[in-house]
Amino acid sequence: MNKPGLRHMKREATASALADAAFALALEKGPDGFVVEEIVQRAGYSRRTFANYYSCKEEAVAAAAINFKGAEEVIEWIEALDEEMSPLDSLYQLLKMQMTTEHFHKLRQLVQLSKQHPTLELYILSALHGLQRDAQEMLAKLSRGRHPEGYTHLLTGAVYGAILPLLDGSLNVRLPDHPVVDTEDAVTFEQYLDTMFSYLRQGF
């Protein structure tokens, strides 16, 4: 691997460590219960390093929304994608890889934190938009001009927009590790995804 690749990996690791520390502190003490100095102490970096990545602690907390285990596998999968796969099928596979149970719980916790502390909401929405933007860029690259740019924007907007009601609890959807007895009337996350993509394939 070349040096630019190594530098990029190091930057990603530093950003993730700072975000994870900020997120953990937000859960433990609430978003207003800690300062940046505690983040850098927990993550093992300097305040100057923090300033190179985030403008404030709220931005660092929200960045946890785009940090998830398995990101390397997602990158490898994207690089090996069959360009003949339809944009919808590509997006379906990407979403299943991104939305692991652990990552989904983290997103839900962030949304709950934003309800209690509105200052977080703007940063969390920005982070979620980043996930959607990355997916749109992936589809645009794969399409090689075969689909209008507006099509990939519309598709990713519809899919990631359909995830938001799961994060704020508007829809009764059971994640893999939820006890069935507690959510008897809920559909599973897999069922929800299949239904959502079925609507998109058939048209509304």
Q: What angle do CA 36, 41, 47 make, to 5 degrees?
A: 50
56 and 153 in a common domain: no
Check residue 185 and report its DSSP letter: T
CB half-sphere exposure, 202, CA atoms < 13 A: 7
Q: Domain ends where: 38, 63, 88?
A: 63
pLDDT for 181 beyond 60: no
Q: What is the mean pLDDT of residues 90-101?
A: 79
Sequential DSSP letters for 136-203: HHHHHHHHTTSS-HHHHHHHHHHHHHHHHHHHTT-S-EE-TTS-GGG-TTPEEHHHHHHHHHHHHHH-
31 and 78 in a common domain: no
11 and 57 in a common domain: yes
pLDDT for 132 beyond 70: yes
Q: What is the mean pLDDT of residues 93-99?
A: 78
Q: Domain ends where: 63, 79, 108?
A: 63
On whether the CB atoms of residues 94 and 73 are closer than 8 A, the answer is: no
Q: What pLDDT sits at residue 52?
A: 95
pTM, entire model: 0.76
117 and 95 in a common domain: yes
Q: What is the pLDDT of residues 54-94, one digit of tens each?
A: 999 999 999 987 775 555 665 666 666 666 778 888 888 88
On whether the CB atoms of residues 90 and 150 are closer than 8 A, the answer is: no
Q: What pLDDT sits at residue 204?
A: 60
The distance from CA 93 to its chain's CA centroid, rounded to whole angstroms, is: 14
113 and 59 in a common domain: no
158 and 138 in a common domain: yes
Q: What pLDDT sits at residue 1?
A: 38
Check residue 178 and report its DSSP letter: S
User: Where is pLDDT greater, at 23 or 202?
Assistant: 23
Q: Please, what is the angle between helix 121-143 and helix 87-98, to 10°?
A: 140
73 and 51 in a common domain: no
Q: What is the pLDDT of residues 139-168, one digit of tens each?
A: 887 777 777 778 888 888 888 888 888 888
59 and 32 in a common domain: yes
194 and 115 in a common domain: yes
100 and 26 in a common domain: no
Q: What is the pLDDT of residues 6-52, one digit of tens each?
A: 776 788 889 999 999 999 999 999 999 999 999 999 999 999 999 99
Q: What is the mean pLDDT of residues 111-140?
A: 85
Which of the four pLDDT bands, split at 50, 70 and 90, describes residue 98? confident
Number of domains making up the chain: 2
User: Which residue range forms the structural domain that includes residue 141?
Assistant: 68-204
125 and 45 in a common domain: no
Q: In whole angstroms, what is the distance from residue 18 CA to residue 40 CA?
A: 7
CATH number, domain of 43, equals: 1.10.10
165 and 100 in a common domain: yes
Q: Domain ends where: 16, 33, 63?
A: 63
Q: What angle do CA 102, 103, 107 make, to 5 degrees?
A: 120
The distance from CA 4 to its chain's CA centroid, rounded to whole angstroms, is: 25
